[in-house]
């Protein structure tokens, strides 16, 4: 038997906001969100170390969480790093919890990047017919 992480889902309850939310997320999204139980913001390198996710998967996951506005991507600079440093823009960003998050629905699902792409492909296909 093999566990297919990209097909797995979890329900999480967010209790740090004014209103309680129950969200359905992938296991990768869950791993990222659980790191925020300790601190409110992380850079890409730290998240990569804490979650043990490949960098490409982590970027896809972070993009889905920032697209739905649960996380905010902020420009950041590590201590001791020069302005013209060799780190990429993504690695110097800080990803922080959005404490001002609001949604009309208290229970919802966060779409992943691949789900968004497949929905777009279906729409394009229907329009071509």
pLDDT bin (cut points 50, 70, 90) of residue 112 is confident
pTM: 0.75
Q: Please, which residues bridge with residue 4 across strands?
A: none
Residue 88 has pLDDT above 80, yes or no: no
Q: How high is the mean pLDDT of the chain? A: 80
* 8-state DSSP, 93: E
- Which is higher by pLDDT, 114 or 122? 114
Query: In 3D, which of 35, 4, 17 has the Cα closest to residue 106?
Result: 17
> Domain 5-128 adopts which CATH fold?
Ribosomal Protein S5; domain 2 (3.30.230)
Q: Where are the alpha helices (DSSP H) in 1-129?
A: 27-35, 44-51, 55-67, 89-92, 113-128
Task: Provide, rounded to the nearest whole percent, the portion of the chain with pLDDT above 90.
Answer: 60
CB atoms within 10 A of CB 102: 10
Q: What per-residue string of b and e applies to 50-85 under the rule 16 or more CB within 10 Å gives b? A: ebebeeeebbbbbbbbeebebbbbeebeeeeeeeee
């Amino acid at each position: 038997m093999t566990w297919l992480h990209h097909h797995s889902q979890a329900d999480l309850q967010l209790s740090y906001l004014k209103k309680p939310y129950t969200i359905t997320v992938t296991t990768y999204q869950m791993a990222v969100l659980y790191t925020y139980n300790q601190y409110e913001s992380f850079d890409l390198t730290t998240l990569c170390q804490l979650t043990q996710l490949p960098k490409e998967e982590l970027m896809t996951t972070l993009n889905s969480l920032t697209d739905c506005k649960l996380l905010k991507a902020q420009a950041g600079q590590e201590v001791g790093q020069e302005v013209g440093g060799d780190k990429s823009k993504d690695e110097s960003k800080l990803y922080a919890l959005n404490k001002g998050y609001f949604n009309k629905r208290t229970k919802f699902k966060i779409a992943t990047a691949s789900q968004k792409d497949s929905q777009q492909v279906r729409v394009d296909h229907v329009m071509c017919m």
